[in-house]
Structure formats: structure tokens, C-alpha cells
Structure 1
Amino acid sequence: MSDTSTRNLARATAYIMAAYLASRVLGFLRESLVADFFGRKGLTDAYNTAYILPDLIYWLMVGGVLSAAFIPVLSEYIAKGKQEEGWRVVSSVINIIFLALSCLIILGLIFTPQFVRMEVPGFPPATTVLTVHVTRILLIQPLFMALSGLTMGILNAHKVFWPSALGTVLYNACIIVFGTLFVKMGAGISGFAFGVVIGAAANFAVQVPALRRLNMRYYPIIDWHHPGVRRIAVLAVPIVLSYSLNQFQVLINSHLGSSLPAGSLTALWQSYRLFQLPVGIFAMSVAVAVFPTLTEQAAIEQWDQFRRTSSAAVRTVIFITMPISIGMMVLRFPLIRVLFQHGAFKAADTAATAFPLLFFGFGIVAQSVIQILPRMFYALKDTWTPVVLGVVSMAVDIVMMIVLVGPLQQGGLAFATAISAIVNMLLLLYWLRRKVGTIDGRRLASTGGKSLLASLVMGGIVWGWSAWLSGHLGFGTIASILVLVSGSALGAVVFGVLAKLMRMEELTQVMGLAERRLKLRAAH
């Protein structure tokens, strides 16, 4: 990559990472409020389960299509200077998606009770009724999320990232404000569902001005015969199939979890969101920023730069998330106490949530890396390989869930997810090497090995420190904050020193990224 490209990519990554960090912080404030109001029980199990059907509809119609087909094809038109033709393709795809999405939402509203009973047969009748009610409220969300998702795809293809990143911040902020307001007005946990709908609408609205500045042209057409539309359809088919199969995996998870004691699914979902925290802030930021560049490099056949860009992205993600995964496993109790243990959320709920988080921790690095690897295939216009490998990993997940749920309960469901992520990462790396010839494997292995060694040493030191400090301060909120903050700071210093001693080039890259971000903030 050229110096200019590197700077632009670093700037984009920094903006996205900052916005995702703010969004995730607000997201956990939102979860903290839900825990404070309602604790961990059947009520929150219903609320968390209600997201599954709306999320399924969104990812089937928009999410997978965006990452695998929409952005690569549109980026190719932009790279070749065919803007006008690209807008006609965009218009056709948008119209097709919204027709199909509307039909799915109507069907979802009609058959919500049947879907919920199939998904969580172990729920008591009252919990099932509440799940149906909240699901129907949330089914309005995919319409707005589709608008914001497609807008994000158009902006990202033009390498404009900040509006969609800002939208995610506004999304969580609206849920907090309006959810709390509706709960105070007596809406119960449904109040947060209404907040989600308002947040999704705000997420789209904040991106519209940037979209207008691109001089987007919209045409009320559906041109099935256009080669660009057909190419998107061909690329999207395996992704739609993949998400359909993945939903079967989610159904198995919910099915097994619904028979566990009340609140088990809430503990699993809360720990899963913590598991996704580093993935969403760091890995997703790098993946979103690097994807248009990978697509452009593949479109004009700059293969050496494609490999260098890919390797740098994966190594950076490993370097960042490895110490975070170990640190999260070691500091999981004070982390959960600080985030959730107040109001109706008690010490027993903390223990129940910390248990699956321990097992999720084993899969954080793999889950982070697989935010990037499939996008490398997508940039090469290959959407089938990640799908086939994902199906194999899904089969591993289902088998492991069935095997582990008995002895480990919600911890077994979490461990199965971590094992599946590791299998998926290894399969993707193997097939990617076969496809592009080399994936800079030695440097990837070196980064992984050194990061693991430094993280394990760091984890041992942080564990000793946190145990000693907790023994003196106790386990209250203030004590947990001190343990969490001091343990995180100590871990960062120890890992940084060890990385410096091992001469890891990723340390220089990450420090450079942070320095550029600080300069950007100072300039503004």
C-alpha cells in the first residue's frame, strides 16, 4: 500500500473505532439499565429472545447482501468510473430488497406466536406471551435498519465512514433515553423495545445528509436483467443460505437454553455481548475500513498489495484482541459487577453471567479474525467458500452445544460458540492460502505466538494483582471499579513492555494509529 493509502486507511479505522467504542459503551449502559430495572429472570429472557426474529429478517435481506455483494460490486463501478451505472444498480437492489423485506415483516407479524413456540418451547406460558408481544414491536426495526444499512453500504463504497459510525452511537443513545422514559411511564420492558425502533430510525436519519452530498441518483426501477444486479444476486445467494442455516444454530441455542433455569438465557446473552465488545470495537472497525480497499485492489488486480493489506489487518486484530481476551477472562467478575450488579441484578446474577464469559473468552481472537477473513473472499468475488466453511463450523457448534449443555449449562453453550469460531478461523485461513497462494503465514504465526505468550504472562500478573487488591478492598462497586481500572492499566503496561522487548512491529502500528487519532482530535 502507498503511504497515502495507509494514512487514509488508518484515519478511517481511527474514526470508526472511536465511534464504535462510544456506541459499545452506550450499549452497555443500555444493558446496565435493563439489568437495573429488571435483573436476570424470565422477563429479561423474553426481551433478549425477542430480538432473534427481527435480526434474522434483517441479516437475511440486508446484512449479508451488504458485506458480500452490494459493497464489492458498487466499489467496482466506482473504481472503474461508472458512477451513473452504479446508481441504477443501487436503485434496483434497494427496490428489490424493500419489496422482499416488507413481505417478510408481514409474515413475521402474523406467525410470531408459532415462531416463538418453536424457538423456546421450554418457556413458561407468561414468558412466551411477553416474548411474542416484544417481538412484534421489534419487527418494525428491520425497515429502518435496512435503510441505514443500505445507506452505510453506499457511503462505505465511497470510503465515507463517519456517518454510519455516528449512527450506531445515536442508535444506542436513543434506546437509553426513550427506553428509560417509556419504562418510567409504565410500559415495562416493552419500553426498551420502542426505544430500539426510535433508535433505528435515528440511525438512518443521521446518515441522510452525507448521502445527499454524494449526489446519489435514485430510480424507481427493478432491472433484473442488468449485469450488476444479477452479479449482486449471484453473490448474495450463498450468504442468504448461510444466514438461514446460521439461524438454525441460534434456534438450537435458544431451544436448549429455554429449558435451563429462568435467567440462564439472559446470563448467556449478557456474557455474549461482552464477548462481542472487542470484536465490535476493534475487529469490526478494521474490517469495515479495510474492505473497500481490498475490493478495489482485487478489482484492479493489485495482488501484492492485497496480500499486504490483508496480512496487516489480521495481524493488527490478533495483536489487539489477544490481551483483551485474557484480560477479560481474568477480570470478568469485577467487569460484570461494575456493568450490571446494581438494582435488581444481584451477586448470584454476576456469578451466573461470569461463568459463560469465561468460556466465551477462548474464542474472542478467532471471532475477531473471522470478521476480516470472509471479506477477503468477498473482495475476490467468492461468496461460496466462506459459506461452506461456515456450515462446517456451524455443525461443530451444534454438536458441541448438545454435548456441553448438560455438564456446563449456559457455559457449555458459550464454549461451543468459542470452539466453532476457532474451527471457522482455521478453515478460512487454510482455504485462503489455497486460493491466493500465500497469506504471509509466518508473520501471522509469529504475531499470534508472541501475542499469546505476552498475554499469558500479563494475565498471570493481573490475576495476582486483582486477587491481592480484592482481598484488601472487598467486592463492592467502588472496589470493583478500582480493581478493574488498575488491573486493565497494569495489563496494558505489561503487555506493551513485553511486546516492545519482543520487537513486535504491530506495537508500532497500533501506537502510530493512536498517535494519528490524537493528532486528528487536536487538529479539530
Structure 2
Amino acid sequence: MPENKNVSKEKIAKSSLKMSLVTTISRVFGLVRDQIQGALLGTTFIADAFAIGFILPNLLRRLFAEGNMVASFIPVFTELEKEKGKEESKKFFRAVFTLLGLILIGVVAVGIIISPLLVNILYKSGRDNIEALSLASDLSRIMFPYLLFISLAALMQGVLNIRGYYYISAASPILLNTVIISMALFFYFFMPNFFSNMAYVFAFAVLLGGFVQFVYQMPFVHKQGFSFKPYFNFKDPYVIKMIKLFAPGIFGASIYQINLLVSTAFAGAIGEGRVSAVTFATRIHEFVLGVFAVSVATVMLPTLSKLITDNKKDEAVETLSYSLRLVALVTIPATFGFIVLGKEIVRMIFEYGAFSSKSTYLVSSALRYLSVSLFFVASYRILVQSFYAMKDMKTPVYIAFFTFIINAVSNYLCVYVFKFDIIGISISSVIANIVSFCILYVLLMRKLAVKSIINKKIEIVKTAVSSLFMAASVYGVKYYLLSNAADSRIFFIFKVFIVILLGVLSYSIINIVIRNDDFISFINMFVGRLFRKFVRK
């Protein structure tokens, strides 16, 4: 049994690492995209309108795409393939692909029709600006079909993940970001007057990018023997089982995005620039989540589903524990880093063009508080995946509904009663994310009949201690290197990179000195992979 546990742990770590490397490249492209968007749109009402227009199809993407739908699909697919073989699982994929496509066409059509109504509800501060409301509605209508392409692409991602090809789907966002970057630069430099403003360019680029992501994955899925020919056997018992798992989990799987929608609505009531500021802060926040935390959760679900299907409870708990500790290795130091260096990071990434020092203040203020929830958001995703692996879709829904209420009430109090402005939005998100994690963690312990999910808690304590020392060193170096306001932009960026590298170095050294086994084993595995590749060459 110990050997099997080590195999599962090594598989998760290696697959997560491979996926994370690809995702890192994707996220870097995403940051470049956000830099260009910040430079061209800033935190003006145009940027707010784009953020409002995109949040609606993006929320539904989380509902139908990589969140609940894939989480419902993978356990049922795994069970079906084990019980009835690969040919039946291929028919199951065709049926789900057909059904999902039909549902999404209907959702997109309705979304395009009611976009003005939804925008008016979300964009309170734009109600006095007819141009802003009209722009947000137009952009939403343009981007709604993106939902169809990206959701079907996510279903293909689920199949590729089951087959162990994590890096293929992880690379697809690079195509989206490349399309957006290319179109933005092309129209800005060569056809600046083609659209009334650059927000339309970004909207059409999102639509085209979603289509490219969809087409890109089709050959890889087809190579695995799957067909895209329509199959209307929606009465198949396994299709019905997936629907029963999917339907109650719609709310629970996407609580993070739903809470973001609530936060955006309150931000839209505060004043101009707040919606886009929350959006930019969330982008940086999700950079850390996307680079490693989401990779761990994505890799863990197929592995955990197989272990639970095979009744290997002890190994499943060990896999879950190791996944949470891996996430802590990245998210805890990232939290300390954003608290100490958040303003400088935002200034380095975004502050040029239409993105002013005021924009930097708004975004960094939101980011500093939002970063406190990094570990809890990342771990919540893993806990939810655990319930889905056990085919329990209802429990996360109940918790999601409860935390949704907490988030809404907290936002109301912070914005309207305590007048915290944009900081209140982040504080509310942190409260909701921590509460949802704690409740779900306790319920999962009871469901698994264990006293604790995270074993080797001392390793997480060591991670926190190393992060604290890292923050102290970064704080000292920051005021030594970054106190000169007269530095050129390039020199400032160079010095910020130096500070970040020193922080990473100090974090690594402290972990090694106090012998954090999780950190040391992960680094040894990473170095070992590089060494083996070097030797092969």
C-alpha cells in the first residue's frame, strides 16, 4: 500500500508540474494581454464596460466548462469505461457532446437577447452614462457565443485529462491570448479608426480565440478514437447519471465565479474604475491559482475518481492530503508576497498608457486583501473535486449557497455601511472563501470518516514559517532598492525582478534549512526530471 501511495503522489506531482509549466507560459501570455488591455483601456468606463460585458459569458463558462460539467463528466466516464469498455465510453462522449452543444446554443441565444437587462442589473454606476450601458451590452452580445466554443473545448479537455494528456489542453489558452494580443496590436497600430474604441477589438478577439481553442483540441481527441458525429441517445443511463450529478452542482462548482459576479455588481455601484480594478486584481490573483493550484486540482480529479472507484480509501485520503500540501507550497508564499510587494507588482505589470498611478492604487489595494484567500480558494477547488469524485454534488451546493449569502451581506456592509470602497469588495471575498473552505473541510472529514484530511501538518507550518521569513527579507530589500521614485521604468522593473528573485531564493533556503519534506521532495523531483532530460540529450 505505501508503494501505491507514493506512485499516486508522484503521478500527481509530475503531472501537475508538467501542466504547470505549460500553464505558466499561458499565464504569462495572459499577463501580456492584460498589460495591453490596461494600457489601451486603463480603468475608465470603457474598461468597466468590457469587464461587465465579459463577466456574464465567463460566469457561464465556469458553469458549463471546466467547473461543474467536467467534474460531472469525468467520474461517470471513468466508471462507464471500467464497467463496459472503451467503445461504450466513446458513445457516451458523443451523446454528451451533442447534448451540451444543443443546450449551449439555446443559452447563447437567450444571453444575446437579454444582455441589456443583465448589464443594467450589474452596472449600477453606468446607469447615468447611456454610452457605458450601451457599450457593455454590445460587448456582451459579441462575446456570448464564446461560451459555446470554450465549453465544448472543456469537454474535450476532460477526455484528454482522463487519457493523461494534461499539457495539450493546458496549452490551449496560449492560443486565446495570442489571438487577443495580435488583434489588439494590429488594430491599434494599423487600423486604429476601424472601431469606435478598442474594447470592440478585445471583444471580437475573445470570440475568435474561443473558436481557435475549440478547433485546436479536436485533432488530439479524434486521435484517441473519439468521434464528433451527433449522437442523440440522451436516455442512456450514464448520460442521465451525469445530468443528475451536473444539475445540482451548477451553483456549487462555480461559487467562486458567482461570488465574483456579486463583487463586480457591488464594485459597479461604487464608481468608475472599480469594476476594471477588481478585474485586474483578480487576474493577478488567478495567475497563481492557474499556474499551479488549478493544475493540481485538474490532475487530482481523474486520479481520485479511479481510487474511489477501486475502493482505495486510504490512498485517496493520502492523495488528497498531498494535493493540499502541494498547493500550500505555492499559495502561502504568494500571499505574503502580494501583501508586501503588491503595489510594486501592479505598477511593474500595468502602469503605462491609460493605466495611471490612480489605477495602480485601486488595483493594488484590492489585490493586497484579496491575496489572503489564495490558499483557501485553491484548496476549496480541491475539496469540491473530492466530493465530485465520490459523486456527491449536493453538499458543495449547500455550502456554496451559504457562502453566497455571506459574500452578499459582507459586500453590502463593507460598501454601503462601512464605506470601505474597493477594499471592502476584497474583504468580503476573503471572508466568503475562508468560511466555505472551513465548512467543506469539516464535512469532507466526516464523509471520509477520518480525524484529519491533512496529515503531516508540520510541513504546512514549515511552509508558513519560510513564507514569513521570505516576506521579512523582501520587505527589507524593497525599501533599499525600490525607494527611489526617480528610477526609469526599465530600471524599476529590473529592480522588482531582483527583489522577487531574492524572495524566491530566501524562501527556498529556509525550507531546506528547516527541512520541509514536501518542498525538498518536490524540488528533487523537478531537478531529477531536468537532469534526466539533460542526460538523454
TM-score computed with the length of structure 2 as normaliser: 0.92
CA distance in 2, matches of 1:296, 1:224: 25
CA contact (8 A) 2:253 2:384 kept: no
CA contact (8 A) 1:265 1:410 kept: no
CA contact (8 A) 1:14 1:513 kept: no
Match of 2:477 in 1: 465
CA contact (8 A) 1:62 1:97 kept: no
Distance 1:248 1:77, change over 3 A: closer
CA distance in 2, matches of 1:4, 1:419: 36
Q: Residues 63-82 of structure 1: matches in 2 within 5 Å?
A: 63-80=66-83, 82=85
Q: Select 2:500's aligned residue among 488, 492, 505.
A: 488
Q: Select 2:179's aligned residue among 168, 174, 180.
A: 174
Q: Residues 9-158 of structure 1: matches in 2 within 5 Å?
A: 9-80=12-83, 82-123=85-126, 124-158=129-163
- Shifted more, 114-123 versus 290-299: the winner is 114-123
- Shifted more, 91-100 versus 182-191: the winner is 182-191
Distance 1:115 1:152, change over 3 A: same
CA distance in 2, matches of 1:410, 1:83: 51
CA contact (8 A) 2:44 2:272 kept: yes
CA distance in 1, matches of 2:415, 2:64: 31
* Secondary structure of residue in 1 paired with 2:111: helix
CA distance in 2, matches of 1:429, 1:242: 15
Q: Work out whether 1:454 is the aligned partner of 2:466.
A: yes
Distance 1:517 1:284, change over 3 A: farther
CA contact (8 A) 1:334 1:483 kept: no
Instruction: Give, in angstroms, the shift of residue 246 of structure 1.
Output: 6.8
CA contact (8 A) 1:27 1:172 kept: yes
Instruction: Give, in angstroms, the shift of residue 243 of structure 1.
Output: 6.2
CA distance in 2, matches of 1:300, 1:100: 33
CA distance in 2, matches of 1:199, 1:417: 29
Gaps in structure 1 of 5+ consecutive residues: none
Distance 1:170 1:439, change over 3 A: farther
Instruction: Give, in angstroms, the shift of residue 254 of structure 1.
Output: 2.9
CA distance in 2, matches of 1:189, 1:133: 10
* Secondary structure of residue in 2 paired with 1:95: helix
Gaps in structure 2 of 5+ consecutive residues: none
Q: Percent identical across equivalent pairs?
A: 24
Match of 1:358 in 2: 368
Distance 1:78 1:480, change over 3 A: farther
CA distance in 1, matches of 2:185, 2:488: 25
CA contact (8 A) 1:473 1:479 kept: no
Distance 1:302 1:247, change over 3 A: closer
Instruction: Give, in angstroms, the shift of residue 444 of structure 1.
Output: 5.5
CA contact (8 A) 2:249 2:393 kept: yes
* Secondary structure of residue in 2 paired with 1:413: helix
Q: CA RMSD in A?
A: 2.1
Match of 1:410 in 2: 422
Q: Residues 358-377 of structure 1: matches in 2 within 5 Å?
A: 358-377=368-387
CA contact (8 A) 2:5 2:319 kept: no
Q: Residues 504-515 of structure 1: matches in 2 within 5 Å?
A: 504-515=516-527
CA distance in 1, matches of 2:391, 2:79: 11
Match of 1:518 in 2: 530
- Shifted more, 356-365 versus 87-96: the winner is 87-96
Distance 1:195 1:264, change over 3 A: same
* Secondary structure of residue in 1 paired with 2:233: coil
Instruction: Give, in angstroms, the shift of residue 294 of structure 1.
Output: 0.5
Q: C-alpha deviations, 1:96-121, integer Å up to 9, x for none?
A: 11111111111111111111112213
Paired residues, number: 524
Instruction: Give, in angstroms, the shift of residue 219 of structure 1.
Output: 5.1
CA contact (8 A) 1:336 1:350 kept: yes
CA distance in 2, matches of 1:117, 1:359: 28
Instruction: Give, in angstroms, the shift of residue 177 of structure 1.
Output: 0.7
Instruction: Give, in angstroms, the shift of residue 438 of structure 1.
Output: 2.1
CA distance in 2, matches of 1:472, 1:484: 12
TM-score computed with the length of structure 1 as normaliser: 0.95
Q: C-alpha deviations, 1:202-239, integer Å up to 9, x for none?
A: 21222122112111144533223321111101110112
